Amino acid sequence: MAWDFSTEPEFQAQLDWVAEFCANEVEPLDLVFPGAAWSLNPKARALADPLKQQVKDRGLWALFLDKDLGGPGFGQLKLALLNEILGRYRSAPVIFGTAAPDTGNMEMLAAYGTPEQKERWLTPLLNQQIFSAYSMTEPQGGSDPNLFKTHAVRDGDEWVISGEKWFTSAGARADIIFVMCTNGMFVVPRDTAGVEIQGYPPLHNHIRYNNVRVPADHLLGPEDGAKVLAQRRLGGGRIHHAMRTVAQVRLAFDMMCERALSRESHGKVIAEHQMVAEAIADSYAEITMLRLLVLWTAWTIDNSSTREARTQIAACKYTMAKVLRDVSYRALHIMGSLGTTNLTPLQAMYASAPTMAIADGVDEVHKVTVARNVLKGYEPHPGLWPTEYIPAKRDEARKKFASLIESDPDLAAWADAAVRATWRG
């Protein structure tokens, strides 16, 4: 069987270029002109577009898409390796054409859109001429589609959408919004009459859809097909979040280790104190386990499908939130008072952990999903005793050696001694 943890030299060269490019070009842009990467302002685009063009020239633009959709078609595993770098920098996903929520929305368009819909929305999204949002969660129902109330009614050549959505990330700055209704997924231009974006929360917007009219061809995929489209979108989104979380926790770990070697307490560097050493050791193990889980899941998707990897994706979802919370918390403590400020990334990183545990479905739901799917591979044991009940297994095993035990007193004594040893505990 094939078993390999290596990256081919050609793609490793690309990753090396990405690391240097992000450190020398993307991070300075973030620090001096925050938000320039996704702004449509001409001056901002003049700063960001040349960087995006360099990415395109390297063949790394929109890495999550197949070649026929404008991407390089490298698959999820290579995307994971790339995101281990991009996730350290706020605007890097935008510079590389892999930013949420556009990625998931583009995947839905690519899979279910008509040729006209792809030309109208997918191509501009791919070229970042427009940006999008995903409007799913509702105030009364959270992320459970069975509790949603937002509904579309057909009226001649139009659909009329009414309802209320909560936590539509980047909805206020999106050009188009993918609205999940009880009877379909609809593409709604943000400036459509009746789209009422509330003033709070400022980033994850509360939106009321008050008799919003859109043309009939703004239905994406089949009528009543919203759940299918959502699962395709959210499955990919969860693994992409996990990929970027690996980058975040590795950044926190780097800061933790650097600080541990740089500060002294009670006559020695704090790295020599046992509790600090424990924090570093635990973080190393947890990050490594998360990374391998994410890479294995990405490999599974590449070799089967998102659906086949759904149990692994769910495990990634709640594991990444826990590792992000624990590692960023330890790093913040080792950093000391500086870690509680906004002068390093740690405070924002730690504050984002609860969101990661709730976004795209709460962790508790994903744990139930994993348990349910895992248990499908098991059966209850027959009779009173578990399968690994030693006395019963030994009785069955003795039948294999019955003739030897009957013919050789020494072997019989040996076997009987094993039984007595079990009785004695």
Confirm whether 162 is domain-assigned. yes
Q: What is the pLDDT of residues 342-370, one digit of tens each?
A: 999 999 999 999 999 998 889 999 999 99
Say what the pTM is.
0.91
Cα angle 37-16-290, degrees, rounded to a multiple of 5: 85
370, 232: one domain: yes
Q: Which domain holds residue 352?
A: 227-375
Residues pairing with 163 in the sheet? 209
Question: From the DSSP assignment, how many helices (H) and strands (E) are in the chain?
Answer: 16, 10
46, 163: one domain: no
Using the 3D structure, point to which of 188, 203, 220 is the last residue of a domain: 220
Q: What is the pLDDT of residues 112-121, one digit of tens each?
A: 999 999 999 9
Whether the CB-CB separation of 98 and 86 falls below 8 Å is answered with yes
Q: What is the reported pLDDT for 1?
A: 66
Question: For residue 12, what are the contacts with CB-CB under 8 A and spacing of at least 6?
Answer: none
Mean pLDDT, rounded, for 327-331: 98
75, 94: one domain: yes
Residue 148, Cβ density class (10 Å: 0-12 exposed, 13-18 middle, ≥19 buried): buried
Confirm whether 24 is domain-assigned. yes
Handedness of CA 193, 199, 205, 207 (dihedral sign): negative
Listed residue (198, 187, 132, 196) closest to 159, CA to CA: 187
User: What would the two tokens of residue 271 be?
Assistant: 């790295």
If you write DSSP's letter for every residue of 329-391 in order, what string do you get? HHHHHHHGGGGGSTTSSHHHHHHHHHHHHHTTS-HHHHHHHHHHHHHTT--PPSSSS-TT-HH
Lowest-pLDDT range, 62-76, 236-250, 327-341, 366-380? 62-76
Domain count of the fold of the chain: 4
365, 244: one domain: yes
Whether the CB-CB separation of 176 and 212 falls below 8 Å is answered with no
Handedness of CA 226, 232, 238, 244 (dihedral sign): negative
Residue listed under structure tokens 């939106």: 207
Residue type, 407: S
